[in-house]
Chains A and B, each alone.
Chain A
Amino acid sequence: GNSVTQMEGPVTLSEEAFLTINCTYTATGYPSLFWYVQYPGEGLQLLLKATKADDKGSNKGFEATYRKETTSFHLEKGSVQVSDSAVYFCALSDRSGATNKLIFGTGTLLAVQP
């Protein structure tokens, strides 16, 4: 079945460091791909998405490119801030049925230190 694998955390970085959080997926067909972010004490918020191969989603300095050949959707940011500390979830849309379902990875905790 469809699944998402993302790197184990926590990821600890200093402010202004470069961030990469790896995400790979297994899916039949052509899913849409998402990154959601969960700040402490809050629900999930959509960070960015890509709907087809080679699309690049971007928001708030974060980017991810839909790579069909490597079945990946890695999240990157050139210079992280303390305020980026959160849990990041990679997800794909499950197209195996009529219902729009999201399949999530386990989440990666990012801790940015001043």
Chain B
Amino acid sequence: ETGVTQTPRHLVMGMTNKKSLKCEQHLGHNAMYWYKQSAKKPLELMFVYNFKEQTENNSVPSRFSPECPNSSHLFLHLHTLQPEDSALYLCASSQDTGGFTDTQYFGPGTRLTVL
């Protein structure tokens, strides 16, 4: 499945580093999402973009900064992270955010470790 790609697949960073996660969807969708997946916890929705506009920020700390330059690309800029931010970060896309039966398609995720 190459509909949604994410890079890098693995990332190790120190608490003072700045890094970015990239997501690209090849499905012609208009909505893109960032989720955080931690062990023993439900998936947490972080951000939602629809037609490049942010429509949801689920009380995410400002050390996570999303960017959506167009409907096909989504970035998550990371700065001054904490060890508890270590998790699998998943990107997803859907046709748009108005259809409640729309399927979300996920990328393989970026495994982030903060030292």
Q: How far is the CA of A107 from the CA of B39 in the complex (A)?
A: 10
Instruction: Determine whether the beta carbon of B4 is less than 8 Å from that of A106.
Output: no
Instruction: Determine whether the beta carbon of A46 is less than 8 Å from that of B103.
Output: yes
With an 8 Å Cβ cutoff, the count of chain A residues facing the other chain is 26
Instruction: Determine whether the beta carbon of A31 is less than 8 Å from that of B100.
Output: yes
Task: State which residues 60-107 of A face B: CB under 8 Å.
Answer: 89, 93, 95, 98-107
Of the candidates A41, A49, A89, the one whose C-beta lies within 8 Å of that of B103 is A49
Q: Given A41-B108, A43-B107, A46-B103, are A101 and B98 also a contact pair (CB < 8 Å)?
A: no
Question: What does the 1/0 interface line of B47-78 toward A look like (CB < 8 Å)?
Answer: 01010000110000000000000000000000
Chain A residue contacts of B103, Cβ below 8 A: 34, 46, 49
Chain A residue contacts of B92, Cβ below 8 A: 43-44
Instruction: Determine whether the beta carbon of A101 is less than 8 Å from that of B1.
Output: no
Chain A residue nearest to B55 in the complex (CB): A99
Of the candidates A4, A46, A100, A106, the one whose C-beta lies within 8 Å of that of B41 is A106
Chain A residue contacts of B43, Cβ below 8 A: 44, 89, 102, 104
Chain B residue contacts of A95, Cβ below 8 A: 100
Instruction: Determine whether the beta carbon of A106 is less than 8 Å from that of B100.
Output: no
Q: How far is the CA of A90 from the CA of B95 in the complex (A)?
A: 21
Q: How far is the CA of A24 from the CA of B96 in the complex (A)?
A: 27
Q: How far is the CA of A24 from the CA of B37 in the complex (A)?
A: 21
B residues engaging A (CB < 8 A)?
Answer: 1, 4, 6, 31, 40-43, 45, 48, 50, 55-56, 90, 92, 94, 96-109
A residues engaging B (CB < 8 A)?
Answer: 4, 31-32, 34, 36, 41-46, 49, 51, 89, 93, 95, 98-107
